[in-house]
C-alpha cells in the first residue's frame, strides 16, 4: 500500500475493535489502531493484572540488574486511557467468541461477573502458557514458572532465605534465570533433557556455553529428565530426582521447559488451527474468519527460511505483526506481515550466543543442500586492546550461495553479526552479497575484514572449488590428516579424535611434500582455520587430488566432539596472533 493509500485509509469509519491480550502483540495492535483511526472504539481485555509489561526483562529484575520494578511496566491502563483513549480492562478473561453475533463473552475475574461485548473486528493475542509437566511434586510450594509480573513477584518472595535452586530446561528463560540466581548468590543446578543447552543450536555452538556455565559454578545435568520433585513435611519442594536416580537439593525449582500456545478460545470458536499448532493466519494476520485476527505466541507466521507457516514465540515478531493487524482492523488496509526469521540471542554470564535463520541440521532437514563454514576470530581488530573471541557458523545453500542462517557465540560482537545476517536473510542475500558488504570499520569497532566477511570468503572458496570444507565433527579415520600448527599449540589443544594426524608446520609444508601421499584424501587443520586454508591451497596446487580444510579447525572440532567440565579458561578460546587471522581469503 502506498503512503497516499495509507493516508486515505487512516481515520475512516468507526469500527469497534476488541483485543484479547494486552501484552506485546495486543498492546501494539491497540496503539497502532488508535494512531491510524481516531474514531475507532478500542477495548483491550487482559486476564492478568498488568498490560504492556517488559516480559523479557523479568529475569533481570530477579537478579537485581534492573532495580526499579516500575521500569518493567511499559504502559498502564490509565496511560492507555489518557493518551490513546483506549479502554483497557485488566483481570478480565474472554471465555467465548460468538462469531455469528460478533460478540465475546467476558468474565471479570475479581467479581465473577460475566457479560458480553460487541465487536466489529477482534484481535486475538492470548500468548502462550508455560508447560508444566505432570510430575509428582510439580504443584508443590517452591516450584515456579516465569511468564508474567505475578510469577516474578512470587519467585522474588520465595528467594528470601533460599540458597539452592534447580532450573529445569536450558532454553532462553532457563539460562537467563540460572544466571540471575547465581548473581543472587544461590547454588544453582540446571537440568536439560537434551544433550546440550539451547537444543536448536548446533552442538559446537552450544559447547562453549556449557563451559561458561560450569565456569560460573552452575552444575549442569544434560541428557536426563526429571523423574519427580521431592517435598518436605511442609509440602514445599526440597529437591529434584532425575531419571537416573541423581538427587539435586533445592529450596526453589524453576520449570522452564517451553510454552504452549493458548489456542483453546480460537478452537472453541471454530477458527482454523495451523499445522504447527498455532492459530492459522493470512498475510494480514487474519484468521479463517476475516473479522478476527491473531498475533503473538498463539499465532502462526510465515517462516522465512522455509516459506511455511509456523509459530515463532518471540517478542519482536509479535510486536511488528500486532502493529500491522491493528492497522488493518482499524482501516481495512495495511502492508503484508513480514516473514519471521527466528533471530534471537541470549546472554550467558560473560558470553552471548544466538541464531538467525536455519542451523545446518535444520536446513538439511528442510531439504536444502546446505553447507556451513566456521570462523573463529576477534570481534574487533586483534591488535586493539580488548579484542574478544567470536565464533560464527554460516549456513548457506550449495550452488546458489543463498544464506540460510547463522549462529554465533562469543564474549562480544554476537548481536552485531546476527543483525547483519538477519538483514541479509530478509532480502534473500547470498554469501557473495555478504562478502561485499561495506561495513563500518575502525579498530575499536571491527576489522577491515569482518568475521562475517571471512565466513563469506571461505564459503565462496568452497563454492568455487578452491578449498572444499569438511565439517568439524567429521570422522577423520580414513583421511590423511595434516596439522600445520606449531608444536606448543598441539600440546595446548590436540586435534580431537585424530591420533593419526601428521604434524607439519605450515612454513615447512612446501619442503616436506614428499612425506605425504598426494593420492589419498587429505584433511588439513590448524587452530582456527586460516592457516589450514593456506595449507590446502598449497597441496591442491602441488598435485594433491582431494584436499579438505577442516572447518573451524581444532577449536571447533573440540567444541563439536568434546564435553568438558572442571577448570575452564577465562576466555572462550586462545587465538593465534592476529597476523594468522588475516590470510583466510
What is the rounded CA–CA span in Å between residue 435 and residue 284?
A: 35
Strands of the 87-90 sheet, one edge to the other: 87-90, 41-46, 16-20, 121-124, 292-294
Cell of 65: 540488574
With beta carbons less than 8 A apart as the criterion, state whether 20 and 311 touch.
Answer: no
CA 263 to chain centre: 23
Catalytic residue among 56, 85, 228, 526: 56
Q: What is the dihedral sign for C-alpha 405, 351, 414, 129?
A: positive
Note the maximum CA span of the chain.
Answer: 89
Query: Is-contact 328 158, C-beta < 8 A?
Result: no
> How many angstroms separate the CA atoms of 518 and 498, rounded?
19
Contacts 24+ apart (CB under 8 A), 532-536: 532/484, 533/458, 533/461, 533/467, 533/583, 533/584, 534/506, 534/583, 535/482, 535/484, 535/506, 535/509, 536/467
- Cα separation values, 222 from 219, 435, 491, Å: 10, 38, 29
Question: How many residues are there in the chain?
Answer: 585
Check if 526 is active-site: no
Cα separation values, 132 from 129, 135, 230, 259, 278, Å: 9, 8, 16, 9, 19
DSSP letter for each residue of 141-172: BTEE--SSHHHHHHHHHHTTT--EEEEE--SH
Report the chain's terminal Cα–Cα distance, integer Å. 43
Name the residue among 4, 22, 24 with its Cα closest to residue 321. 24
Cα–Cα distance, 519 to 60 (Å, whole number): 58
In a 3-state reduction of DSSP, which class is residue 308? Answer: coil
Which 8-state DSSP code applies to residue 411? Answer: S
- State whether residue 299 is helix, strand or coil: strand
Q: Is 33 helix (H, G, I), strand (E, B) or coil?
A: helix
User: Do 299 and 321 meet the contact criterion of CB atoms below 8 Å apart?
Assistant: yes
Catalytic center residues: 56
Amino acid at each position: 500500500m502506498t503512503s497516499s493509500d495509507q493516508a486515505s485509509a487512516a481515520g475512516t469509519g468507526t469500527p469497534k475493535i476488541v483485543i484479547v491480550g494486552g501484552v506485546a502483540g495486543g498492546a501494539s495492535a491497540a496503539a497502532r489502531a488508535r494512531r491510524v483511526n481516531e474514531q475507532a472504539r478500542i477495548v483491550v481485555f487482559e486476564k492478568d493484572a498488568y498490560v504492556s509489561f517488559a516480559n523479557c526483562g523479568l529475569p533481570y529484575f530477579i537478579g537485581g540488574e534492573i532495580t526499579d520494578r516500575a521500569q518493567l511496566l511499559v504502559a498502564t491502563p490509565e496511560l492507555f486511557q489518557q493518551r490513546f483513549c483506549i479502554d483497557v480492562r485488566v483481570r478480565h478473561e474472554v471465555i467465548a467468541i460468538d462469531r455469528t453475533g460478533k460478540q465475546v463473552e467476558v468474565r471479570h475475574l475479581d467479581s465473577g461477573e460475566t457479560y458480553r461485548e460487541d465487536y466489529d473486528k477482534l484481535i486475538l493475542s492470548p500468548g502462550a502458557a508455560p508447560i508444566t509437566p505432570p510430575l509428582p511434586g510439580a504443584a508443590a510450594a517452591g516450584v515456579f514458572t516465569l511468564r508474567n509480573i505475578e510469577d516474578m513477584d512470587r519467585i522474588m518472595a520465595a528467594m528470601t532465605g533460599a540458597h539452592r535452586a534447580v532450573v529445569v530446561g536450558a532454553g532462553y528463560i532457563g539460562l537467563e534465570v540460572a544466571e540471575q540466581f547465581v548473581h543472587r548468590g544461590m547454588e544453582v543446578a540446571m537440568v536439560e533433557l537434551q544433550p546440550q543447552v539451547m537444543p536448536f543450536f548446533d552442538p559446537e555452538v552450544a559447547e562453549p556455553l556449557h563451559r561458561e556455565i560450569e565456569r560460573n559454578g552452575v552444575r549442569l545435568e544434560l541428557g536426563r529428565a526429571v523423574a519427580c520433585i521431592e517435598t518436605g513435611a511442609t509440602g514445599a519442594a526440597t529437591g529434584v530426582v532425575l531419571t537416573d536416580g541423581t538427587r539435586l537439593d533445592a529450596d526453589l525449582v524453576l520449570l522452564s521447559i517451553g510454552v504452549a500456545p493458548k489456542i483453546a478460545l480460537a478452537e472453541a470458536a471454530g477458527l482454523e488451527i495451523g499445522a504447527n499448532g498455532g492459530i492459522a493466519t493470512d498475510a494480514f494476520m487474519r484468521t479463517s474468519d476475516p473479522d478476527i485476527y491473531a498475533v503473538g505466541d498463539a499465532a502462526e507466521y510465515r517462516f522465512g527460511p522455509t516459506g511455511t507457516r509456523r509459530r515463532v514465540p518471540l517478542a519482536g515478531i509479535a510486536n511488528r505483526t500486532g502493529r500491522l493487524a491493528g492497522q488493518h482492523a482499524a482501516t481495512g488496509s495495511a502492508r503484508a506481515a513480514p516473514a519471521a526469521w527466528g533471530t534471537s540471542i541470549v546472554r550467558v554470564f560473560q558470553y552471548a550466543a544466538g541464531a538467525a535463520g536455519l542451523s545446518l541440521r535444520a536446513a538439511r532437514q528442510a531439504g536444502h543442500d546446505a553447507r556451513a563454514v566456521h570462523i573463529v576470530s576477534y570481534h574487533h581488530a586483534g591488535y586493539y586492546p580488548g579484542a574478544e573471541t567470536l565464533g560464527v557458523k554460516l549456513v548457506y545453500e550449495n550452488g546458489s550461495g543463498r544464506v540460510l542462517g547463522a549462529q554465533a557465540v562469543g564474549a562480544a560482537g554476537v548481536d552485531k553479526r546476527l543483525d547483519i545476517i538477519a538483514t541479509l536473510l530478509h532480502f534473500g542475500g547470498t554469501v557473495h552479497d555478504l562478502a561485499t558488504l561495506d561495513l563500518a570499520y575502525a579498530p575499536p569497532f571491527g576489522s577491515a575484514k569482518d568475521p562475517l566477511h571471512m565466513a563469506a570468503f571461505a564459503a565462496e572458496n568452497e563454492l568455487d572449488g578452491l578449498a572444499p570444507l569438511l565439517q568439524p565433527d567429521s570422522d577423520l579415520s580414513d583421511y590423511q590428516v595434516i596439522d600445520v600448527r606449531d608444536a606448543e599449540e598441539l600440546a595446548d589443544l590436540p586435534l580431537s579424535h585424530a591420533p593419526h594426524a601428521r604434524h607439519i608446520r605450515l612454513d615447512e609444508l612446501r619442503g616436506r611434500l614428499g612425506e605425504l601421499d598426494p593420492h589419498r584424501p587429505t584433511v588439513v587443520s590448524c587452530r582456527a582455520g586460516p592457516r589450514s586454508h593456506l595449507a590446502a591451497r598449497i597441496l591442491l596446487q602441488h598435485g594433491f587430488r582431494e584436499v579438505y580444510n577442516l572447518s573451524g579447525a581444532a577449536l571447533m572440532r573440540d567444541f563439536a566432539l568434546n564435553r568438558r567440565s572442571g577448570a575452564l579458561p577465562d576466555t572462550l578460546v586462545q587465538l593465534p596472533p592476529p597476523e594468522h587471522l588475516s590470510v583466510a581469503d
